[in-house]
């Protein structure tokens, strides 16, 4: 039995038998092999012990004066599902053995028990424990690395798969395209790729292609010479130059105007460009990460995005699971936001009652983590108690579109000009989203740039709509 661990594994075992001599013998055997041992003299005694302590292994006789080992196993499965159970019996039979394994027993041994056979089974239990511990540590390390590097929080399998693929991408210099829903954390994933790459000590520069007015976007990206256009009183380096040696994030790449796409394609292919108003070529060493909440493939088919640029960007495609696909991460995210926003409002971190967390997990969060974050900020700002429970959720929860769904749908009167209806609809949607242009764009199915242009076109007060 050279493969039996005898170096003090420090794993725990509960020995259950109503015969004192057998309990003593089993206890001594396990102690010799480094186990921490407790004993119980029957079913009721074992059930009380399992309510107080979780064991790695329970070894129990099947037939005892106050019951049987199947009762013990049932109790163990309820209080500690990961605990292994080995059944011992002096009246072994094939049907009983089959039934015990079907019921979840780790092993089934007959008396008089061979200690060598018992320790072989115990060694297999330890092997299973060690594998689970190692897997758990890998998950914890991955989650800890994510949190420390870029603020991505979660341990769901889908998220960890995404991060594993992102780490693989980070080990290369290839350009990356991240397609995911709004609010899922595309910029955080881009930062994670940068921070886990060999460019981590160089700049990470981000530009939102939808947020910069179209006439200024070319200068913002490529820079300009002094006097290149009215107001260019000094030369300026663009985002590509600022990111030299590091990573450039092109957020909402689908909003890149068609007339600028050929110039972007050239940079991706040759890593060279000219500032506006200059003929001197500038070479840069950068990785480009592009993000979008739209399908660029669909935009190519619609003629709204160049196919050659799409293929050049889509070297390593990545996606991020929506929050409804990783509901198991909501408790950790909620705790994170509670701690963060408690600092903002200068209050103690409240306790999140399980009823509150259950409410969070029952909603599908179309706005993803951004929506959850905003909701948690509202709750932390308005709630004064030490505990946040289901009542707080019900009081503050206002899903986007709820008012719209409950509002009567009125047909407009014939003859009203289309532009008047469009303006009214835009104003109503912006009011519904409390002036949030991004949310309004998502509800209307148009781009952020279109929202901004319409606000200007209809003379709506721009400061009212953030």
Q: How far apart are CA 309 and CA 263, in angstroms?
A: 10
Q: How far apart are CA 421 and CA 213, in angstroms?
A: 25
Q: How far apart are CA 422 and CA 453, in angstroms?
A: 13
Q: How far apart are CA 355 and CA 361, in angstroms?
A: 10
Question: Are 273 and 193 contained in the same domain?
Answer: yes
Domain end residue (candidates: 370, 399, 428): 399
pLDDT of residue 81: 76
Tell me if 141 is assigned to some domain.
no
Q: What are phi and psi of 108, to 5 degrees?
A: -140, 115
Give the distance from CA 466 to its chain's centroid: 27
pLDDT of residue 181: 92
3-state secondary structure of 108: strand
- The pTM of the full predicted model, rounded to 2 decimals, is 0.59
Give the residues of the chain that fall short of pLDDT 70: 1-9, 91-103, 131-150, 399-420, 462-466
Instruction: Using alpha carbons, list the distances in angstroms from residue 279 to 226, 264, 272, 343.
Output: 13, 17, 12, 51
Question: Are 297 and 417 contained in the same domain?
Answer: no
Tell me if 43 is assigned to some domain.
yes
pLDDT of residue 466: 57
pLDDT of residue 228: 76
3-state secondary structure of 392: helix
Structural domain including 56 reads: 12-131
Contact 15, 59 (CB under 8 A): yes
> Contacts for 165-168 with beta carbons within 8 Å, 24 or more apart?
165/318, 166/192, 166/193, 166/196, 166/318, 167/196
Question: Are 126 and 112 contained in the same domain?
Answer: yes
Domain end residue (candidates: 379, 399, 419): 399
pLDDT of residue 409: 45
Antiparallel, parallel or unpaired: β 281-283 and 272-274: antiparallel
Tell me if 146 is assigned to some domain.
no
Q: How far apart are CA 258 and CA 304, in angstroms?
A: 7
Q: How far apart are CA 37 and CA 113, in angstroms?
A: 18
Question: Are 289 and 214 contained in the same domain?
Answer: yes
CATH for 308: 3.40.50.300
Tell me if 4 is assigned to some domain.
no
Number of domains in the chain: 4
CATH for 126: 3.40.50.2300
Tell me if 71 is assigned to some domain.
yes
């Amino acid at each position: 039995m050279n493969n039996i661990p005898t170096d003090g594994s420090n794993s725990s075992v509960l020995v259950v038998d109503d015969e004192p001599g057998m309990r003593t013998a089993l206890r001594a055997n396990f102690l010799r092999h480094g186990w921490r041992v407790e004993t119980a003299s029957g079913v009721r005694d074992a059930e009380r012990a399992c309510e107080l302590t979780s064991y790695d292994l329970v070894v129990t006789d099947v037939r005892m004066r106050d019951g049987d080992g199947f009762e013990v196993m049932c109790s163990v499965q309820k209080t500690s599902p990961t605990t292994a159970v080995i059944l011992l019996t002096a009246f072994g039979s094939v049907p009983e053995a089959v039934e015990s394994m079907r019921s979840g027993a780790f092993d089934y041994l007959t008396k008089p028990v061979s200690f060598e056979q018992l320790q072989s089974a115990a060694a297999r239990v330890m092997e299973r424990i060690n594998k689970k511990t190692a897997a758990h540590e890998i998950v914890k390390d991955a989650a800890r690395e994510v949190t420390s590097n870029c603020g991505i929080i979660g341990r769901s399998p889908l998220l960890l798969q995404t991060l594993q693929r992102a780490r693989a991408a980070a080990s290369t210099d290839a350009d990356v395209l991240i397609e995911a829903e709004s609010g899922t954390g595309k910029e955080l994933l881009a930062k994670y790729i940068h921070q886990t790459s060999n460019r981590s000590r160089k700049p990470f520069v981000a530009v939102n292609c939808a947020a910069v007015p179209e006439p200024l976007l070319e200068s913002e990206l490529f820079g300009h010479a002094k006097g290149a256009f009215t107001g260019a009183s000094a030369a300026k380096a663009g985002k590509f130059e600022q990111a030299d040696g590091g990573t450039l994030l092109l957020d909402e790449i689908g909003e890149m105007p068609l007339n600028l796409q050929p110039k972007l394609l050239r940079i991706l292919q040759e890593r060279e460009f000219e500032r506006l108003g200059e003929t001197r070529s500038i070479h840069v060493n950068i990785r480009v990460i592009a993000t979008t909440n739209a399908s660029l493939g669909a935009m190519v088919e619609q003629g709204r995005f160049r196919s050659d640029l799409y293929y050049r960007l889509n070297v390593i495609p990545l996606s991020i699971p929506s929050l409804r696909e990783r509901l198991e991460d909501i408790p950790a995210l909620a705790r994170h936001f509670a701690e963060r926003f408690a600092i903002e409002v200068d209050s103690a971190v409240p306790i999140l009652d399980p009823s509150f967390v259950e409410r969070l997990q029952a909603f599908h969060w179309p706005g993803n983590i951004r929506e959850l974050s905003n909701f948690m900020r509202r709750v932390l700002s308005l709630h004064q108690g030490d505990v946040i429970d289901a009542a707080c959720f019900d009081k503050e929860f206002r899903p986007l579109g709820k008012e719209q769904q409950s509002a009567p749908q009125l047909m407009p009167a014939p003859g009203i000009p289309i532009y008047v209806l469009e303006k009214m609809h835009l104003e109503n949607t912006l009011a519904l989203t409390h002036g949030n242009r991004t949310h309004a764009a998502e509800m209307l199915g148009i781009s952020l740039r279109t929202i901004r242009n319409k606000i200007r076109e209809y003379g709506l007060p721009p400061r009212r709509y953030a």
